[in-house]
Structure 1
C-alpha cells in the first residue's frame, strides 16, 4: 500500500507468534496487536505459513526498492546508475563548496579591510589565494566526472550491441553444432546397423566376429552380453524379429539434461515455520516450497534405482550368499543421494504418479503411485529385463523434536530375482536432519536393517552407526554380516553409506573376550582381502547450486511426452519452483491442496455410509503381503500398455 491507515501492521517488521492449538497473534511490537483464531490447528498453520511467506516477500521487496530496483538491469547499466549517483553527490558538494567558499572569501575580505600589516596580513592573503585555488580545482573535478559519465554512457550502448550480437552468434553456432552432431550420430548408427547386418549374413547370424570394433564409441551402449559371453548367448530370432531389430538400433538414445535452473537465494527462516510443529507429524502441516527441492517424493523414491547395476550383478550370481552382498550394497547405496540433500521433496497428491522408463538405456521400467493421503503412502514397482523386480510401499512418518527432525520410513522393500527365484525383503532406517534452529543443516542415517532371503533363509544384518562427536570411528559408518540359515557367517561388509561398501569372505570365526558392554562377547572374523562392492558416483559440476542433485536426479523432472496426466513432471507448483518462481509456486501449491481437499469431501458425500475415505488406487491394488502379512498395494498391470495406446481417460484430474 502506498499509504498506511489506522490498524495497519507492516508485514516486513511484524511479529507472528502462537498462543495455543488454534490461536495466534500478529503485532508490530508496539500498540497494534491482533489476536486471531483459526478453525483448526492445520488451518492455523496454513495462515502462519502464508503470513511468514508474505513477510519474507515484503522484506525482499523493501530491500529491492532500497537498491533502486536495479536487479532487472544489466551490470553495465547498474554501474552507470551508480556513477550518475556519485556525480550528483559531487554536484551537491560543488554547490556546498561554492556557498561556503563565497562565505569564506567574504570573511577573508572583511579581514583584509582591517588593513592588518606585517605577518598577519601576509597570512590572510595566503589563505585567500589557497581558498580560490581549492574552489577552482573542485569545479574542475566535478566537470571531469560529468564528462566521464557521458563518455561511459555513449560507449556502454555500443558494448551492449556488440555483446548481444556475440550472444546471438553463439546460439546460432550451438544450434548448428547440435544439428551436425545429430546427423553424424544418425549416420554412424546407420553404418553400424548395415555393418552388423552384413556380418550376420556372412557368419550365419552368430553375432559380431572377433576383432570387430563395435564398442569403440563409449556414448553408445548396446548389450552387456559381449562382456560375459558364456552366460549370454545370442540366438537368431525368426525373420520378422530380425527385420525389426536394425530399425530399433537406428533410433538414438534420448539425450538427458545435465542442468536445471540454479536455486534462487530466497531467505526464509526455517525456525519461524517449524517452531509451531514441535512433537507433531509434519505430513499434516502445510509447508511452503521454500524448504523443498523441485522433485516429488515419488521421484525421490525412484532415486533408489540410482545404482540399479548392483541388482544387475546380483541377478548374475550363482551363489545366493554372494547375491546377498550385492543386495545389501544396493540397500546402502539408496542413502548416498541424501548426504547433502536437506531440501524436502513435494508431498505427492493422491493419485499422483511417476514413471521412470530407462528400458533402452539400462533395461528397467519403474512406476510409482500415491495410493493414500492420510497416512501418506506411495507404492513403487520396477521390473528389469536383466532378471529382477523391485517393489515397495513406503509411508513416511516424521516428528520434529525441536533441534532435529526425525523421518521414519515405514514399509517393506522386496527384491525378487527371476533366475534363482530368491525373494529378499528389508526395511529402511531412520533419517535425522540436524541443526533446525541454528547452524548448517546436516543429515544422518542411523539404525539396523535385517535383509532376509525368504527362499534360502540367508540373512544379512546391517548396522548404520549414528554420528557421535566422541567416536573415533569414521563418520557414516555401515557394517554388516551375511549369514546362512544356520547362522554361519560367510561375508563381512564394511564401508560408509555416503561413499562405498566392501565385502570380505569369512574363512574362520571365533568368540573373543568380553567387550565390557553388558557382558557380550565380540566375534572375531578371519577374512580374505576386501573387495569393492559399490562406490558412489561423483556429483555433477555445479551441484551445490542445483540442490545437490545427482546426474540421475537432474533428469527426473525433465518434461517428457506421453506420460500420464497425473505424472509428477506435469505438477505446476513443482515446475514453477524448478524455474525459480517461488512466490507463484506457493500460490499454486495452495490451490492444488485445496482442490485435493474438495475432491475428498466430494468422495465422502458420495459414499456417506462409508466409515472412511473409499479411495482406490488406479494402477495398484490393495492386498495382504504373503511374506510379511502387511496390507500393501501391489502393481496390477496395465500402465505401460495404456501408455502405448495413449488413452489416459481413466486418470483423475488432480492438477
Structure 2
C-alpha cells in the first residue's frame, strides 16, 4: 500500500505539471486564433479537474490506510516498549516510533496540500476563463465597430456626392473621389463622370471623364498631343486585349498533381530567423511551390501579346501605355501565390522555346547564389526583345516578409528603336505568424523610353483597412519628353488596366494644406489588359495559371541544367514531399561543396599569402555560361547580358560545357 501511495503522488505531480498547468498557461496567454472559448475547451478543462479530483480521492484513501497502519505500527512499538528489553534496544524503538509519527504527519500535510492545489486550480481556472472570454468578446466587438464605422463613412461620402445642389455637369466641375470604373461599378454617381484620388508627390492629379465630341480628335491645345491621332489610338488600343493564346502542334498539359495536405509549424522554423536574409534560411519544400525562381521570372511573359500589339503603335506615348500595362500584368499571378519558389542552384537554367504558339524564346540562368541573381533574355519574332538581371533581396520582419527585386528591365522594339527601362516594385507577404497569408505590391515605378524620353509614372497603392481606395489599385500618367501628360492609367495589378486619353489639363484651386493638383479632362477609358481566368481546380494546384502549369513539364532536348530536371522540385510536384526534402538537402550540400572547391582553388592560385577574405570574395565570382558581365550605358550598372550560343548548342545537342549541378 505504501508503494501504491507513492506511485499515485508521482502521477498527480506529472499530470499537474504536464497537463493542467500548461493548459492554464495557454488560456492565460490569450490565443488570437480563437474568437471565444469553445465548448471543446470548456469540456477539456472540466475533464481535467474531474481527473484531479479522482486522483485526490485515491490519495485520500492511501492516506487513510497509511494512518490506520501507522497507528497499528505505533501500538506494536508501544507494546514492545513495555517488554523488558535492554536499554539500547529501547532507545532504538523510541527513534522508530518518532519516525512513524513524522511519517503520519507528512502524509496528512501532503493530502492537505493536494486539496489546496485542487481548490486553487478550480477557482483560478474559472477566473482565467471568464477573463479570456471577456477579452475575446471585446476584440470581436471592436472589429465589428470599426467595420460599421467604415460602412457609415462610405455611405456619408456617397450621400454627399449625390446631394442636391452639386453641379451635375462633369464638363463644368472637377472633384476628387474614389477610383471608379467607366462602367459605374461600385458607384452611385453619374455614369459620365469618373473621379481619381489625388496621388502623392509629383503625380498628384484629379481627372474628369467627358464624352467625346465631333472635334475632340483635333484637340491639341492644352495637352500638347501633337501628332498623336485619336483614330490611330482607336485602331491599336481598341483592338481586343483578351486575345487568343495561339495554337501549337505540341499539346501542353492542363493540370498537375493536387497539392498534398501537409501540416507544418511555421513559427517553429521562422522564430530564429528574424532579420536574416531569406535566401540563407534553410527552408523545407513545404513552404515552396514546384517552380524555380527562373520559371517564375519567365512567367512574367504570360501577357506577351501586349508587346506584340505595341509593335504596331505609330505613337510612342501610345506604345508606352501598352508597355506599362505589360509591366503591371506580371504581378497578376502573385495575388494567390504566397508559396516560395525554389532558389535556383548556381548555373541552373530554364528555357521557354515557344516560337510556334507564343512567338518567342526565353532563357534564364542563375548567375549568382549570394545574393541570388538571375539573368534573363527574351527574343520575339514579332519584333521586340527583353532582358534583365534581377537580384532578390528579402527580409523576414516577424509579421511579414519584404521582397525587393533589384535590377533594371530592358525592352527594345527593333523597328522603332524605342528602348524602355523600368524596375520592379516591392512585394510584401503579410500574416506570416497569425492569420491568412496575403500578398501586396507597393511603391512607385518609372518607365522611361530612352529614345524619346517619354515617361510613365506608376503608383502601386499599398492596401489599408481604413483606406477608401480599391484594393491592389494602380494609377499612373504617361507624359512626353516635354513633360506634357497624354494618358491617365488606372486599374489594379490583379485584374485589369485601362487608359484614358487626356484632352485638356488645368490646375485646381489650392487645397486647405496649400497644395495644388493638376486636373485632367479625359475621354472614356479603353481596356488595355485583362487577367486570364485561372484553370479549373487551380486552388488545389498552387493557384497556377495556364502558362505556369506548363513550365515544369518535361521536354526533350533541354540543357542538363534546366529547372525541369531538378530532382527535389520534380518530387515535390509529384506530391512526394519527404523525399523532396531529402533531395533538397543533398543538392544544397553539393552546392556548398562546389563553393569550397572554388575557394581552395582560389587560395592555391594566389599562394599561401592570399588573404582568406579576398579568396572568399573571388570564389564567389561565378562565370556564367550563357551570359556575360557588361556595363549598361543607360543605367550605369554592371549587368549580365546574353552572349549567345544556347539555341545553337540545343540544335546540335552539344551540352559538354554544362556543369553537373543536379
Q: Which range, TM-score by smaller chain? A: 0.5 to 0.7
Contact in 1 for aligned 2:479/2:487 (Cα 8 Å): yes
Superposition map of 1:417-566 within 5 A: 417-516=413-512, 519-566=514-561
Separation (CA, whole Å) in 2 of partners of 1:377 and 1:29: 48
Q: Is 1:648 aligned to 2:655, yes or no?
A: yes
- Residue in 2 that maps onto 1:336: 332
Cα deviation code 1:358-386 (max 9, x no counterpart): 10111100000000011110000001000
- Structure 2 residue runs of 5 or longer lacking an equivalent are 1-16, 20-234, 237-246, 607-614
Aligned counterpart in structure 2 of residue 627 of structure 1, from 617, 621, 634: 634
Separation (CA, whole Å) in 1 of partners of 2:254 and 2:331: 22
Q: Is 1:570 aligned to 2:577, yes or no?
A: no
TM-fit CA distance, 1:516: 4.9
What secondary structure, in the 3-state scheme, does the structure 2 residue paired with 1:584 have?
helix
- Structure 1 residue runs of 5 or longer lacking an equivalent are 1-27, 31-227, 230-250
Separation (CA, whole Å) in 2 of partners of 1:515 and 1:306: 43
- Residue in 1 that maps onto 2:589: 594
- Residue in 1 that maps onto 2:618: 612
TM-fit CA distance, 1:521: 1.7
Superposition map of 1:201-600 within 5 A: 253-516=249-512, 519-600=514-595
TM-fit CA distance, 1:513: 2.6
Q: Higher RCO, 1 or 2 (CA under 8 Å, sep at least 6)? A: 2
Separation (CA, whole Å) in 1 of partners of 2:330 and 2:447: 14
TM-fit CA distance, 1:522: 1.6
TM-fit CA distance, 1:520: 2.7
What secondary structure, in the 3-state scheme, does the structure 2 residue paired with 1:606 have?
helix
Separation (CA, whole Å) in 2 of partners of 1:523 and 1:289: 50
When the two structures are aligned, how many residues end up with a matched partner? 409
TM-fit CA distance, 1:29: 7.5
State the 4+ residue runs in structure 1 displaced beyond 2 angstroms. Answer: 513-517
Separation (CA, whole Å) in 2 of partners of 1:408 and 1:602: 31
Cα deviation code 1:304-329 (max 9, x no counterpart): 10100001011111100000000000
1:369–1:513 Cα change, 3 Å? same
Cα deviation code 1:74-119 (max 9, x no counterpart): xxxxxxxxxxxxxxxxxxxxxxxxxxxxxxxxxxxxxxxxxxxxxx
- Residue in 1 that maps onto 2:643: 636
Contact in 1 for aligned 2:248/2:356 (Cα 8 Å): no
Separation (CA, whole Å) in 2 of partners of 1:569 and 1:581: 16
Separation (CA, whole Å) in 2 of partners of 1:252 and 1:398: 38
TM-fit CA distance, 1:252: 6.3
TM-fit CA distance, 1:441: 0.3
Separation (CA, whole Å) in 1 of partners of 2:248 and 2:465: 51
What secondary structure, in the 3-state scheme, does the structure 1 residue paired with 2:300 have?
helix
What secondary structure, in the 3-state scheme, does the structure 1 residue paired with 2:391 have?
strand
TM-score (norm 2): 0.61
Separation (CA, whole Å) in 1 of partners of 2:627 and 2:418: 23
Separation (CA, whole Å) in 1 of partners of 2:593 and 2:563: 20
Separation (CA, whole Å) in 2 of partners of 1:325 and 1:506: 13
Cα deviation code 1:15-49 (max 9, x no counterpart): xxxxxxxxxxxxx979xxxxxxxxxxxxxxxxxxx
Separation (CA, whole Å) in 2 of partners of 1:516 and 1:366: 52
TM-fit CA distance, 1:485: 0.8
Contact in 1 for aligned 2:349/2:364 (Cα 8 Å): yes
Cα deviation code 1:528-585 (max 9, x no counterpart): 1100000000000000000000000000000000000000000000000000000110
Separation (CA, whole Å) in 2 of partners of 1:342 and 1:252: 31
Superposition map of 1:121-270 within 5 A: 253-270=249-266
- Residue in 2 that maps onto 1:10: none
Q: CA-atom RMSD, angstroms?
A: 1.6
